[in-house]
């Protein structure tokens, strides 16, 4: 059993809960998720099964899309509505000022990771320090907000759609928007609508998945690489790729989806210029 199932995670489940339940449903151990979602967040959680676990890191590092609710005038220790309230102020900006503040975060920005996160410092997760009442100094890091679309906005709340790079904390984005406005804000709700090529329209809730219908939702590994040109290789090149060897190939430099003559997906191959000729090597092997 190999492929990806896009789970629409519901509130109350951790990402690990989803993996554990899927292992029981499918009766297989080789399953991995592709990036945590907070228990109170919902939406797209691609889960890799079998050989597809080799691309967990690739999906984890891909672009994401979220729909987030923002509550103005409140800040909390977790930067979302579920934390302990730190401050409350009356929102005192116009709708245009709120819109301007939100959209100012498009592009490459600096974010300080929240204390309530799984980032490790000295071998310990930040949220473990936070639960002990210890504040740890964190280094800001660059993230990219590709696009922010304002879906709804009032003086008390906003609903935004955010396309962003890996490592972006939407809770922190909401908190930073509140800081810019001068009266604070926190995240009220969060739905991940897309992760890499996987969107919420093709997802299924874990409680609706079973052995009878899982094949309707499993996505073949090679579908992740449809942007790469497909090539078919002979048995000799196939065996060399499987064994990690280079093979001369009359193709332009770049990445390819490589299949054998029977239609089996072998690998993502990379053509490089080597020793005065173009050769192909396996970059991600899925055949064995």
DSSP SS3 for 35 = coil
As a whole number of angstroms, the distance between CA 109 and CA 270 comes to: 33
Tokens of 197: 């090529």
| CB 90, CB 73: distance < 8 Å | yes
As a whole number of angstroms, the distance between CA 242 and CA 286 comes to: 9
Question: Catalytic residue among 17, 38, 57, 207, which?
Answer: 38
| CB 55, CB 221: distance < 8 Å | yes
176 part of the active site: no
DSSP code of residue 10: P
Measure CA 30 to chain center: 20
As a whole number of angstroms, the distance between CA 144 and CA 288 comes to: 37
As a whole number of angstroms, the distance between CA 217 and CA 225 comes to: 18
Q: Which segments within 130-184 are labelled E, that is strand?
A: 141-153, 157-164
> At which residue do the structure tokens 């090539």 appear?
231
| CB 60, CB 210: distance < 8 Å | no
By annotation, the residues acting in catalysis are: 38
């Amino acid at each position: 059993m190999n492929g990806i199932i896009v789970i629409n995670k519901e509130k109350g489940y951790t990402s690990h809960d989803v993996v554990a339940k899927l292992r029981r449903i499918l009766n297989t151990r080789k399953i991995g998720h592709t990036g945590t979602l907070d228990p109170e967040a919902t939406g797209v959680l691609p889960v890799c099964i079998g050989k597809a676990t080799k691309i967990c890191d690739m999906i984890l590092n891909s672009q994401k899309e979220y729909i987030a609710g923002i509550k103005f005038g409140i800040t909390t220790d977790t930067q979302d509505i579920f934390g302990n309230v730190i401050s409350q102020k009356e929102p005192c900006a116009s709708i245009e000022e709120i819109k301007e503040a939100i959209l100012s975060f498009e592009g490459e920005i600096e974010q300080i990771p929240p204390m309530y996160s799984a980032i490790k410092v000295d071998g310990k997760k930040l949220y473990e320090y936070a639960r002990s009442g210890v504040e740890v100094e964190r280094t800001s890091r660059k993230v990219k907000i590709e696009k922010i679309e304002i879906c709804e906005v009032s003086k008390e709340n906003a609903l935004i759609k955010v396309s962003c790079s890996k490592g972006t904390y939407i809770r922190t984005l909401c908190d930073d928007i509140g800081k810019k406005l001068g009266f604070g804000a926190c995240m009220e709700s969060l739905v991940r609508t897309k992760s890499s090529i996987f969107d919420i329209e093709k997802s299924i809730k874990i409680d609706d998945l079973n052995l009878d219908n899982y094949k309707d939702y499993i996505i073949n590994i090679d579908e992740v690489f449809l942007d790469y040109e497909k090539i078919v290789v002979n048995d000799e090149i196939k065996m060399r790729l499987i064994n990690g060897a280079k093979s001369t190939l009359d193709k332009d430099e770049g990445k390819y989806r490589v299949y054998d003559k029977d239609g089996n997906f072998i690998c993502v191959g990379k053509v490089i210029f080597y020793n005065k000729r173009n050769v192909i090597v396996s970059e991600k092997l899925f055949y064995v």
